[in-house]
Amino acid sequence: MTAPASAPAVALPAMPVWRQYYVLTKPRVVQLIVFCALIGMVLAVPGLPSAAALGRMAIACAGIWLVAAAAAAFNCLVEKSIDARMKRTAWRPTARGELSDTQALVFSALLCVAGSTVLYAWVNPLTMWLTFATFVGYAVIYTVVLKPLTPQNIVIGGASGAMPPVLGWAAMTGEVGPQALILFLIIFIWTPPHFWALALYRVEDYRKSGLPMLPVTHGNAFTRLQILLYTFILLAACLLPFVYGMSGWLYLAAAVLLNAGFIGHAFKLWRGYSDQLARKTFRFSLIHLSLLFAALLVDHYLK
C-alpha cells in the first residue's frame, strides 16, 4: 500500500476492495459518456434498429465503457496527490492510499485492453482506434500535460470528452460523418461553461491543489463572463442539427428552451455571484445536455 499525499480532513471508513476499484472508474462520469455514445449509435441508424443493430450497440457500449473506465482509473492514479488536497476528491482510494499505484495501473491497463479487444473484434477497428485515441487524449494529454499547465485545459482537453457520439456513430457506420462532428461540437462547446461553473464554487479546492483553473488564474468575474459568452456560442452549435436536417421542429423547440435556460442561469451568475447560483448553473448544465440529446433521440423517431 502507498501512503496518501496528505490525509483527508475527516477520517472515513475503509471501503470494500471491490468498491475501491469501482470508484476508480468514476461511474457517473462514465455513464454520461456511454449515454452520449449510445445517442450517436441510435442517430446513425435510420428508423428502428434491427436485432443485429441492437446487439452491436450493446457490445459497442460495453467496449466504450471499459476504455472510459480505464481512462478514469488512470486519471485517479496520476492525480492522487492533487485529489488528496481537495475536499471533493480526497475520499478516492488512490488519494487515501487504499490502492497502490501498481494496483491502479494494472486495473486501468486490463480495462483498456479488454475494451479495445471487444471493440476491435466485435465492432470495428475504426471505433477501437478512435476510442483508444480518446483514452490517450484524456488520460495523458489532458490529465498529465494540459490540466496542470494552462487555464485553457478544459477548452483544449474538452475534445476528449466530446468524442463519445463520434465513437457511437463510427461503431454503427464504420465512418465519421458530418452529423457525428456536429454532436462532437455541441459537447465540445458545452464543456467549458459546465466545468467552470463547478470550478467557481470549488475555487479554494483548486487553489490548494495548484491546478491553474480559470477562476484561480483569472478571477471570479472573468470566469463568469466566459461562461455567459460560451452559452451564446453553445446556442448556435445546438441549432446545427436542425439546420443540417438531422432533426425536426421538436428538437428545435427543446434546443431553444434548454439553451435559453442555460443562458438565463449564466446571466444571473454574471450579474451577481453566489456559490448557490454557481451550483445551480452546474446542475442545470447536466440537465441541459441530457435533455438536449434525449430530444434529439425522440425527434429522430418522430421524423
134 to each of 33, 122, 137, 213, how far by Cα in Å? 11, 19, 5, 22
CA distance 261 to 87: 30
Instruction: Give the residue among 142, 130, 85, 76 at the shortest CA–CA distance from 107.
Output: 76
Q: What percent of the chain has pLDDT over 70?
A: 95
CA distance 77 to 104: 6
The residue among 36 and 144 whose pLDDT is bigger is 36
**1-176 placed in CATH 3.90.70.10:** no
The residue among 245 and 87 whose pLDDT is bigger is 245
79 sits in which H/E element: none
CA distance 302 to 298: 6
Confidence of residue 208 (pLDDT cuts 50, 70, 90): confident
pLDDT over 60 (residue 9): no
200 sits in which H/E element: helix 178-201
Q: What is the average pLDDT score of the chain?
A: 90
Instruction: Give the residue among 79, 301, 102, 41 at the shortest CA–CA distance from 205.
Output: 79
Residue recorded with cell 490517450: 136
Q: How is the chain split into domains, by residue range?
A: 1-176, 178-303
pLDDT over 60 (residue 87): yes
Burial class (CB in 10 A: 0-12, 13-18, 19+), 35: middle
The tens digit of pLDDT for each residue in 126-156 reads: 999 999 999 998 888 888 887 788 888 888 8
CA–chain centroid gap for 125, Å, is: 23
The tens digit of pLDDT for each residue in 215-239 reads: 999 999 999 999 999 999 999 999 9
Confidence of residue 2 (pLDDT cuts 50, 70, 90): very low
pLDDT in the model for residue 149: 82
Q: What is the pTM of this model?
A: 0.88
CA distance 139 to 78: 8
Mean pLDDT across 256-265: 98
The residue among 14 and 85 whose pLDDT is bigger is 85
pLDDT in the model for residue 246: 92
- Contact between residue 188 and residue 168 where contact means Cβ atoms under 8 Å apart: no
pLDDT over 90 (residue 249): yes
pLDDT in the model for residue 7: 41
pLDDT in the model for residue 140: 84
CA distance 5 to 81: 5
pLDDT in the model for residue 1: 37
Confidence of residue 10 (pLDDT cuts 50, 70, 90): very low
